[in-house]
Structure 1
Amino acid sequence: MKIQKILLLFLAIPLLSFVTVHKFYVSVTNIEHSKADKALQITTRIFIDDFQKLLEERYDLKEELTTEKATEEVEKMMKKYLTKKLKIWVNGELKTFHFIGKKYEDDVAVCYLEITGVESVTSLEVENAILYEIEEDQQNLVHVKINNQRKSLLLVKENDKGLLNF
């Protein structure tokens, strides 16, 4: 029995050497309406290494994202990029979000955004083109919670915009 296990191990090792590790290219954006605050509260999660690469290429970022050096400069770059790549229409009207801040969780940058002055939501349209310029296989998930209803969108480069009705 022991010899069979050892033989199986020796047979499995060459087979496993042909398996390549595939990296997932995904960002996750959560949007929730707060009736009390009359606001859409938004969190966007982006892998740090991908965000780092993009900010280096686009804005010549010199600092590593996980350090707390040049925090204002890094947040300014993040805000500038997200403003160009993430667009949200509430009830047919394009809204501007405020960049509240960011934090790092393991290998993810979490950016906090908010759209104020939102009394109610009947429709929400999201265009999310985050990281498409550095990765063709990038997918952007958008999870929305409005009036205790949860809906989601999966956006890709060829189809980076979606409409949800509530």
Structure 2
Amino acid sequence: MVKNFLICWMMICSCCISFSTAKSNFHPYHVSATEIEFNPKNSTLEISIKIFIDDFENVLKKNYRQKIDLHKAELRSNMDQLIADYVNKHLFVISKNKKYNTQLFGWETNQEAIIIYASAIAPVFDKTNIEVVNTVLFDLFDDQMNIVHFFVDGKRISEKLSIQKPRIKLSY
């Protein structure tokens, strides 16, 4: 009887340990945060995007079918290309019917997130006619939310984008 109890207890403990280890990167929310600020001095859009790193690695693997590891220095130049391509396809600003694509400026990681820095030259930017499209990770999660904070002249407008609402129109 004691032997059966010990065997059962060991099996339960090992299952709990393996489950907790397997789920260590799991998070129940799929969300990113994007900040876009118009800099009138040099007519640029300055952009930062913060995304859970495990989700971003998974979407890059899905889209590019390559080995993805954002922490390995030897893969950095290849990761630069993939990140630039992905962000350029999934985040852009439109003003006066002109689409402004992003140029990757750089990126950094921590244990939980990747922070991507980009910019776009916007010489004919009209702050009364802005549209932002952000479909980052929509190709991975149906419940993905992308929070966008847009700044012009020190004023912020924030919106939540989803697969049902991938774009917003703003006017300052």
- TM-score of the pair, normalised by structure 1: 0.81
Asked whether the 8 Å contact 1:39–1:119 carries over to 2, the reply is no
In 1, the alpha carbon distance for the partners of 2:122 and 2:90 equals: 22
Gaps (5+ residues) in structure 2? 1-25
Gaps (5+ residues) in structure 1? 1-20
> What is residue 112 of structure 1 aligned with on the other side?
117
Classify 1:117/1:138 alpha carbon distance in 2 versus 1 (closer, same or farther; 3 Å): closer
- TM-score of the pair, normalised by structure 2: 0.78
Asked whether the 8 Å contact 1:123–1:164 carries over to 2, the reply is yes
Partner of residue 152 from structure 1, selected from 143, 149, 158:
158
Classify 1:116/1:22 alpha carbon distance in 2 versus 1 (closer, same or farther; 3 Å): closer
**C-alpha RMSD over aligned residues:** 1.7
List aligned pairs for 1:121-136, cutoff 5 A. 121-136=127-142
In 2, the alpha carbon distance for the partners of 1:126 and 1:110 equals: 19
Deviation string for 1:95-144 (max 9, x for gaps)? 12211111113311111111114365222211111111111110001001
Query: Identity across aligned pairs (percent)?
Result: 25
| 2:71 alignment partner, SS class | coil
Deviation string for 1:52-106 (max 9, x for gaps)? 1111111123141122221111010111111111121023321122111111133
Matching residue's letter, 1:92: N
In 2, the alpha carbon distance for the partners of 1:141 and 1:25 equals: 11
Aligned residues: 146
Partner of residue 61 from structure 2, selected from 34, 56, 70:
56
Asked whether the 8 Å contact 1:82–1:130 carries over to 2, the reply is yes
> What is residue 5 of structure 1 aligned with on the other side?
none
Asked whether the 8 Å contact 1:63–1:69 carries over to 2, the reply is no
Following superposition, the deviation at residue 22 of structure 1 comes to 5.8
In 1, the alpha carbon distance for the partners of 2:42 and 2:111 equals: 30
